[in-house]
Amino acid sequence: MVTIVVFLCLVTVGCGSGHAGTPYTGVRSPSAYATVMRPGEEAAIPNPGTGTSDPQVGAALLTRFQSAHEAQELPRAVVALPVTDRTSMFVALRQASSPLSGGHDCEKWTAGLWRAVLDDYNVHGVQLGVTKLNAFSRGSALKMTKLPNPLTFTEAVITGPAVSLGDPRLPASCEDLPGLGNDSGAIQPLSVPRLADRSWAYRITGTGQIPIWQWVEVVQTRRYLLEIRIPNQAPAPKTDPAALLPQIAHAAYTKAQTTLQ
């Protein structure tokens, strides 16, 4: 059996935040760690939730958009909080996060809403639905350059008290963000059509070899939060991610509205 080394901070897939097996101490290093896994081990990681998950939250997640589709090896999942292990890789493997830091107040911007939910809303009543959609599967991963339209993105749907995380105001402490090595970055607003009660988008920039790490859109309703993240990836999708982002967000919002009645 071949052992696969999965680097969660590669350009092709974005970045995972946190350190597997390391307790959370209040300020989390954003970035780079690698984990060694054998084929199928990702799917074998147990769901860390302790409550009863709501199947409707899972049904609200996209399973396909253009060339991207849900992977059989790592299917969508719903985590019912509270969780007993916030360092579990179960959610991180299904979400793209940037390698930028900035402290606790910046995590929902740099790492994603999922990280802020686990850190600040790890309470009964919160449901966290997560998925990663790819244009390739494990068997075709080595042939990515031949795909007609490669695309990877992640989606999160959050219900319960954590809906209050939806605040588009960037803290002043998050305006300049340290990254990996000598890299640094910033959060730059993007203009997108309004969805639901309110929506906003931004891109996460870098000063090193990767000028843009991610394109992100958040949609807030009274019942749920929805987040789409498109990581920098190679080969790149045919359409500019800034143009793809509102298209994916609209499709995700339409499905969530239909499902979460």
The residue-averaged pLDDT of 123-149 equals 77
As a whole number of angstroms, the distance between CA 98 and CA 51 comes to: 29
Model confidence band, residue 147 (pLDDT cutoffs 50, 70, 90): low
φ, ψ for residue 235 (rounded to 5)?
-70, 155
Say what the pLDDT of residue 32 is. 32
Residue 23 has pLDDT above 70, yes or no: no
The rounded percent of the chain whose pLDDT value lies above 90 is: 64
More confident residue, 217 or 28: 217
What amino acid occupies position 34? A
Better-predicted residue by pLDDT, 3 or 65 = 65
Residue written as tokens 């709501």?
54
Q: Are 225 and 158 in contact (CB under 8 A)?
A: yes
User: Quick check: 237 and 211 in contact, CB under 8 A?
Assistant: no
> CA separation (Å) from 193 to 176, 219, 246?
26, 11, 7
Distance, CA of 248 to CA of 156 (rounded, Å)? 12
Instruction: Give the model's pLDDT for residue 150.
Output: 86
Mean of the per-residue pLDDT values for the chain?
84
CATH top-level class of 4-259 = alpha beta
pLDDT score, position 259: 97
Cα atoms found within 13 Å of the Cα of residue 227, Cβ hemisphere only: 32
> What is the phi-psi region of residue 210: left when phi exceeds 0, alpha when psi lies from -120 to 50, beta otherwise?
beta
11-15, 34-38, 65-69: which has the minimum mean pLDDT?
11-15
Which of 203-228 are b and which e, b meaning 16 or more Cβ less than 10 Å from the residue's Cβ? Answer: bbbbeeebebbbbbbbbbbeebbbbb
Least confident window among 27-31, 69-73, 107-111, 181-185 = 27-31
d(CA 134, CA 73): 11
Distance between CA atoms of residues 53 and 31, nearest Å: 29
What is the separation of C-alpha 221 from the centre of its chain, rounded to a whole number of angstroms?
A: 19
Q: What is the pLDDT of residues 74-132, one digit of tens each?
A: 999 999 999 999 889 999 999 999 999 889 999 999 999 999 999 999 999 999 999 99
Residue 252 has pLDDT above 80, yes or no: yes
Residues 6+ apart with CB under 8 A from 99: 9, 15, 30, 31, 32, 179, 180, 183, 206, 213
**Average pLDDT value for residue range 138-156:** 72
What pLDDT is recorded for position 140?
53
Choose between 111 and 40: higher pLDDT. Answer: 111
Residues 152-162: what's their mean pLDDT? 97
User: Confidence class of residue 209 from pLDDT cuts 50, 70 and 90?
Assistant: confident
Contacts with 223 (C-beta within 8 Å, 6 or more apart), sequence order? 159, 163, 260
